[in-house]
Amino acid sequence: MEKVKSYLPWAIRILISFLFIISAIAKMYPSPYFAISTFEVKQLYPLGFSENIAPWFSRILIGIELALGILILQNNFLRKLIIPVTILLLAVFIGHLSYVTFATGGNSGNCGCFGELIPMTPIQAIIKNIIAVFLLVYLFFLLPKTNDKNNFWIVAGIMLATIISIFLLAPIKIVTNDFVVSPIENAVIDSTKKEITAPIIKDSVVTAVKVDSVKKLLPTKIEEVISTTEPKKIKSGYAKLFSKIDTGRKTLCFFVPGCDHCRQAAKELTELKQKNPNFPEILIIFMNEEANLIPDFFKEAGAEYPYKIIEIIPFWNALGTGKDTPGVKYIWNGNTYKYYNGITDNKFNPIDYQELINKPYSELKK
């Protein structure tokens, strides 16, 4: 029994250390800048963090997590500072996750505790954190008061070293525009089919009608025909990337070059386009993550399409809050009529999309 008691504190310390170190490392998987930027957009922005504060907060938080995972294994200020701070941090996480669960009315999505490496729902994370708090409280009373050492510089040095290391692994990049195009940007021509749009009324006809000042009723009738055959042009917000995106029917895609689900969606789009000569032009916005894989991406997709590359955070912003890749939008004259995203309930469905693009405007309005 005495042996068990002597080993128990170390067992708890190793377990807590493992949880915190894995949590910090997971938030930097598969690559530090990509993972941390994703964490900022998906976890911090919804909490109200600004684009200026989030990069600093995320790196400091991950550095503190990593430091606590290391410091729990040493004895300097262990009972006086390390264990109380660790409990406090876990309590903050529990409060945040409880609020998220209550606010969203459910227990879906990834809480972000272990990044994208180990997806975990908010309820699962709350249970994990509560267990960790109980273990730490138990550890606090297990350890004798005389166990603490008082070399503050060891604690401060480890904390500072871990925070600096996170900033070195994922330097903050200054993004001055929501649609920053990477220097490796490129555009290629669709090699499968030439775009075939289906304008119902030619511009020359509309122009001729508008200059007719005698028959005032005719322009109204023409405008009525236009309104029932195609939507009125609006700005989609993507003209900075594709100048003609607000004219005609387009398929706008949000892909990550190394994402298997994105490649599958691109392959399905290619198959649809090969069967349909009037398929909406395919345009792709790539995230600037593993951009060197783009040629391989198109090889697997079976065709090449016009594309632009934008940085990670602007990409997530363009994709939309709460949205995930792959994203596929059906846009007609700048109007969005369908937005598939992610790999769950709203994932891209080629059968549904084929039916959708065959519908006339009169049915889309309903």
Instruction: Please list the residues that pair with 265 across neighbouring strands.
Output: none
Give a yes or no: residue 181 inside a domain. no
Whole domain around residue 265: which residue ranges?
234-364
What separation in angstroms does the CA of 228 have from each of 231, 284, 332?
8, 29, 13
- Whether the pLDDT of residue 205 is over 80: the answer is no
- Whether the pLDDT of residue 241 is over 80: the answer is yes
CATH number of the domain encompassing residue 329: 3.40.30.10
If you average pLDDT over residues 108-131, what whole number do you get? 78
Q: Where does a domain end: 118, 153, 169?
A: 169
Task: Let me know if 5 is exposed, middle or buried by CB neighbors in 10 A (0-12, 13-18, 19+).
Answer: exposed
pLDDT at 99: 78
Give a yes or no: residue 220 inside a domain. no
If you average pLDDT over residues 271-284, what whole number do you get? 94
Judge if 261 and 163 occupy the same domain.
no
Beta-carbon contacts of 219 under 8 Å, excluding residues fewer than 6 positions away, are 209, 210, 212
Give a yes or no: residue 11 inside a domain. yes
Judge if 254 and 117 occupy the same domain.
no
pLDDT at 106: 56
Q: Domain tally for the chain? A: 2
Judge if 48 and 147 occupy the same domain.
yes
Judge if 352 and 241 occupy the same domain.
yes
Rounded to whole angstroms, the Cα distance separating 267 from 260 reads 11
pTM summary value: 0.73
Q: Where does a domain end: 142, 169, 196?
A: 169
Question: pLDDT by residue (tens digit) across 148-188?
Answer: 888 999 999 999 999 999 999 999 987 655 454 434 334 44
- Whether the pLDDT of residue 344 is over 60: the answer is yes
- Whether the pLDDT of residue 283 is over 80: the answer is yes
Beta-carbon contacts of 147 under 8 Å, excluding residues fewer than 6 positions away, are 75, 78, 79
Question: pLDDT by residue (tens digit) across 61-108?
Answer: 999 999 999 999 999 999 999 999 999 999 999 988 887 777 665 566
Give a yes or no: residue 27 inside a domain. yes
| Number of neighbours of residue 57 by Cβ within 10 angstroms | 14
Q: What is the DSSP string of 126-182?
A: HHHHHHHHHHHHHHHHHS-GGG-B--HHHHHHHHHHHHHHHHHHS------STTPBP
Alpha-carbon torsion (312, 314, 315, 320), positive or negative? positive
Q: Where does a domain end: 127, 145, 169?
A: 169
pLDDT band at 266; cut points 50, 70, 90: very high
If you average pLDDT over residues 221-234, what whole number do you get? 67
pLDDT band at 3; cut points 50, 70, 90: low
